[in-house]
Chain A
Amino acid sequence: MKDLSLLDRRRFLRNATLAAGAFSAAPFIRAADPARKFRTALIGCGWWGKNILREAIASGRVKVVGLCDVDSGVREVAAEQVTDLNGDHPKTYNDFRELLDREKPEIVVIATPDHWHALQTIAAVGAGAHVFVEKPTGHTVNESRAMLHAARASGRVVQAGLHRRIGPHHVSGMAFLQSGAVGEVGMVRIFAHGGGGKERPSANSAPPAGMDWDLWCGPAPLRPFNQKLHPGGWRHFLDYGNGQLGDWGVHWLDQVLWWSGEQYPKRVFSSAGRPIAGPAILNEKEQTSDTPDHQVAVYDFERFTCVWEHRRFGENRAEKHAIGAYYYGTKGTLHIGWRDGWTFYPADSNAPTRHEDSQLQEPDGHNLRLLWADFIESIETGKKGVANIEIAHRSSVLPLLGMISWKTGRSIAWDGDKEQIIGDAEASKLLSRPYRGPWVYPGV
């Protein structure tokens, strides 16, 4: 080997790589070029979209070629920030279709409100891009299914922003559960509580100068513009989001699937309301949000029961933790939380509690850097990403089923193999929803 010329060495390495490929099941394994930069675009340049983009830029693996937002002020701020960060000069777009058409991005990050995820993901993989889309995947179940099918058909990598899948204290918390230290777990309680009170309506107003409000609403109903909705408040409007269960719930339900290995619950029941926030208001003059101020959702799995709870009032000082999951085992209770890491409370009162701190990126307390690296690795090696679309779809369906149960006022029997509600035509209708024209609901 010592006399190999440079050319020979190259040839040798290439042959070795080919040989490795020949023995591998994955046809597209190749040596990754760490200097390669992916042509990357962002659709939805708000707070969270830019959090993702910052990590993408920090990875050194992207050239930001395009930014899309329906608010000209927002996209201009984002473009300037990108130039500040890495010297790229992305072009800005109002319409994502134009961006896909002109920039031909290799990666598209989608951080729009939930009601846009499906159409944009399907268009992006259709245009040949890999997609990093925010959670939950869809706003309704059949949108999520359509995303899954489009991803499969395209062969592109689609990853969701379920960053807790790779967060260090979540990974170690799962290992702790799987070690048997908690014993047999028969019930899980997941929750995200916060403060709040009665909600006053805000006056409707003209959208900001330079904002395409019609396109923001897109396939969803065209509400009068209100500052409660934008920037940042849309999650609490059922037309565009699914409230706390759709936002926070999906993270903790995802971990329940991760821990249990189960694919879906057999039955879901949810009760919720707005006794503290007050009735939802929508008229020509003013509006409030309309998602529940509290909610309980029960998920019946084969081997255990999972209960979701949220309250947006009465901040809880009676319990130790406000956010996270309690895994109730025969040997004790494991709490996996957010900034408070994980803590194990043994059943044996003489045994010491065990704790591990969180390792998050601040100020927003996430692990997007790790998730982004995993996404790039998936693209380059063909390995399944930790939050790939198959996983993210199954997890995203759960909050959506909870919302259907709440809306219909009865429990939902779920056939997770066929992805159908059993024996309830009215509830089944809520797996999809009418789109506002000219947008067309995606087919599976």
Chain B
Amino acid sequence: MSLIPVNVWKPMRAPALLITLLFPLLAAAHDWPQWRGPDRNGISTETGWLDTWPANGPKTAWKSHVGLGFSSFAVADGRVFTMGHAEDKDTVFCLDASTGREIWKHAYPAELGDKFFDGGTTGTPTVSGDRVYSLSRWGDAFCFQAADGKIVWSGNVQTKTGARVPDWGFGGSPSIVGDRLILNVGETGLAMDPKTGAILWQSAGRSAGYSTPLPWKSGTEQLAVFGSEQAYVAVNVRDGKEAWRIRWLTQYGVNASDPILSGDQVFLSTGYGKGAALFKLGGAEPVELWKSKKLRTQLNGAILFQGHLYGVDGDTSESASLKCIEWATGTEKWVQAGFGSGGLVIADGKLVALSGTGELTVAPADPGGFHPTARAQVLGGRCWTAPVLAQGRILCRNSRGDIVCLDVRKL
């Protein structure tokens, strides 16, 4: 089998790039319809936003509160979608992106699930066309009409499939791959018909990991890559058959960070002291090119930008650092100690990084060093959720569910 991975969403990049080239002074604003963005790589195509701020920080567009959890944001058609937990219920929220005003919400009973952390929701809603999909830690799957929150279909996929609930619940967000809805439920995923919620195939055995299914094209085959309990596994979304598997043992089965695929290579990194490795695909088995303890991403996956990885090294329980390492070799380029277990997004060649304690920093994505151009303390509490930059606004949250939306539009 020849493996020539091509990013499925790559064609969508071209118009954005073209517009940027033709009108270099005009800001390009884009949606962020799902976890890790339009291309599922943590990179926003947004340009022309304010990367220097006054001493008191950027303008706050609005604030909100959605309840406990670590869910990130999907932004589409002027709306923000996220989740939170309060009083034995999870709630899926649809907010107006410019004002924060609540457009609709849907609550359903759910456990807090606070074993060894604050608990609450951990997945992020996914927008596809006029639909929004969400998955709870306990397997409650929903398809909403984006416009008004009307439920198109819903059901608990855990009880339907008998899949084991991982120790911290299902952590991956829903992923639309071709004409299928793919969930990280079961050892190597679950496929549903997004129109009806019918289950097309399922997997059993060990627990799921906590990553979001990552679409990947291999020749003509459409694959999805899953963090599973003891491996990262690529399966064919048509029938759930395995294409390749990399055995990857992380304490408590927390294969949570999203894998990164580029060319014919796969990068994996997890926390609890595990570390990172780069593999080459294409042969009978994936071949390890290097491995290192320099980058141990426990929650948020690193971001690959121009041959370098930017990510958080270390666990929530210790003083994690922000790091830059070289993709090809694993060589550490710089370390920003004291960053904590935060997250980041890259936009227009800049890191937009939210520290574990709520300091937001902008700095060029430069392997030569970390040199911030803007800083502001935007939140308190525990900030383990990566910020999102979409439509000229930066969205940040903490575990309590306090949201701040910052206006970084130039006009």
Contacts and interface: CB of A to CB of B under 8 A. Distances in A.
Contacts of B252: 231
A180 interface: no
A80 interface: yes
Interface string B274-313: 0100000000000000000100000000000000000000
Given A77-B250, A208-B164, A209-B205, 12 more contacts: A50-B251, A73-B253, A76-B230, A76-B249, A84-B275, A205-B165, A208-B229, A209-B164, A227-B165, A362-B318, A362-B319, A363-B315
A202 B273 contact: no
B273 A81 contact: yes
Interface in A152-208: 200, 202, 205-206, 208
A318 B206 CA distance: 46
Interface string B115-133: 1100000000000000000
A232 interface: yes
A364 interface: yes
B167 interface: yes
A126 interface: no
A227 B167 contact: yes
B229 A73 contact: yes
Contacts of B56: none
Interface of B: 88, 111-112, 115-116, 164-165, 167, 205-207, 229-230, 249-253, 273, 275, 293, 315, 317-319
A76 B231 CA distance: 13
Contacts of B319: 362
Contact of B318 (A77, A227, A233, A363): A363
A202 B111 contact: yes
Contacts of B206: 73, 208-210
B140 to A, nearest CB: 14
B317 A364 contact: yes
Contacts of A227: 115, 165, 167
A228 interface: yes
Question: Interface of chain B, helix or strand or loop or mixed?
Answer: loop
Nearest to A231: B252
Contacts of A76: 230, 249
A90 to B, nearest CB: 14
15 contacts: A84-B293, A200-B88, A202-B111, A208-B164, A208-B207, A209-B164, A209-B205, A209-B206, A231-B252, A232-B115, A362-B319, A363-B315, A363-B317, A363-B318, A364-B317
A206 B318 CA distance: 32
A150 to B, nearest CB: 32
A404 B88 CA distance: 35
Given A81-B273, A209-B205, A233 B164 contact: no
A364 B319 CA distance: 12
Nearest to A228: B115
A362 B205 CA distance: 36
B220 to A, nearest CB: 33
B164 A205 contact: yes
A363 B250 CA distance: 18
Contacts of A84: 275, 293
Contacts of A231: 167, 252
Q: Shortest 4 CB-CB distances between A and B: which pairs?
A: A363-B318, A363-B317, A77-B249, A209-B206
Contacts of B88: 200
B18 to A, nearest CB: 47
Nearest to B167: A227
Interface in A66-113: 73, 76-77, 80-81, 84
Contacts of B116: 232
Contacts of A210: 206
Contacts of A208: 164, 206-207, 229, 253
A227 B114 CA distance: 12
A200 B229 contact: no
A364 B316 CA distance: 12
A80 B317 contact: no
Nearest to B169: A227
B112 A200 contact: yes
A416 to B, nearest CB: 37
Nearest to A209: B206
Most buried by A among B111, B206, B250, B251: B251
Interface in A332-378: 362-364
B230 A200 contact: no
B207 to A, nearest CB: 7
Nearest to A233: B115
Given A76-B249, A77-B250, A200 B164 contact: no
Contacts of A50: 251
Interface string A223-246: 000011001110000000000000
Contacts of B273: 81
Contacts of B205: 209
A210 B293 CA distance: 28
Interface string A398-411: 00000000000000
Contacts of B251: 47, 50, 77
Nearest to B168: A227
A136 B231 CA distance: 36
Contacts of B230: 73, 76
Interface in A114-132: none
A107 to B, nearest CB: 23
A205 B165 CA distance: 9
A73 B167 CA distance: 13
A241 to B, nearest CB: 16
A206 B319 CA distance: 36
B164 A206 contact: yes
A74 to B, nearest CB: 8
Contacts of A80: 249
A211 to B, nearest CB: 11
Contacts of B318: 362-363
Given A209-B205, A363-B317, A200 B253 contact: no
A200 B249 contact: no
A202 B168 CA distance: 12
A134 B252 CA distance: 21
Contacts of B165: 205, 227
A209 B250 CA distance: 16
A200 B230 CA distance: 29
B389 to A, nearest CB: 31
Contacts of A206: 164
Interface in A47-73: 47, 50, 73
A50 B249 CA distance: 15
A225 B125 CA distance: 31
A118 B96 CA distance: 61
Contacts of B111: 200, 202
Contacts of A232: 115-116
A103 B255 CA distance: 32
A77 B230 CA distance: 9
A205 B317 CA distance: 28
A332 B134 CA distance: 58
Nearest to B316: A363
Nearest to B166: A227
Contacts of B315: 363
B122 to A, nearest CB: 15
Contacts of B229: 73, 208
Contacts of B253: 73, 208
A208 B164 CA distance: 8
Nearest to B250: A77
Contacts of B275: 84
A202 B205 CA distance: 21
